[in-house]
């Protein structure tokens, strides 16, 4: 039928299904790549955030100590 330029609906539907399946396989592969990237990235991000938080605490402590030292200097000068 198709060879006579009469495209059957079934043949067209089968072509569309094959195309859709190719697209779905490609999307599934991309999703697996993204999932793997997230899986490996989250621990690294968490560790970096822990380091930032620790440094923030240390910086805050040093800032408070510096403020106390400035206050003591002010007392000595006055």
Max CA-CA distance within the chain? 106
pLDDT at position 67 over 80: yes
Q: How far apart are the first and last CA of the chain?
A: 105
Name the token pair of 77: 């000068």
What's the pLDDT at 44?
Answer: 93
Q: Alpha-carbon dihedral of residues 14, 15, 18, 21, nearest 10 degrees?
A: -100
| Comparison of pLDDT for 5 and 51, the residue scoring more | 51
Domain range list for the chain = 2-77
pLDDT tier at 5, thresholds 50, 70, 90: low
pLDDT tens digit string along 16-66? 999 999 999 999 999 999 999 999 999 999 999 999 999 999 999 999 999
User: Is residue 8 within 8 Å of residue 1, measured between CB atoms?
Assistant: yes
């Amino acid at each position: 039928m198709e060879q006579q330029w009469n495209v059957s609906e079934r043949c067209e539907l089968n072509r569309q299904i094959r195309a859709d399946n190719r697209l779905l396989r490609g999307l599934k592969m991309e999703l697996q790549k993204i999932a793997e990237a997230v899986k490996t990235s989250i621990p690294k991000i968490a560790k970096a955030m822990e380091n930032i938080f620790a440094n923030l605490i240390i910086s805050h402590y040093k800032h408070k100590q510096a403020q106390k030292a400035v206050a003591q200097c002010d007392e000595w000068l006055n």
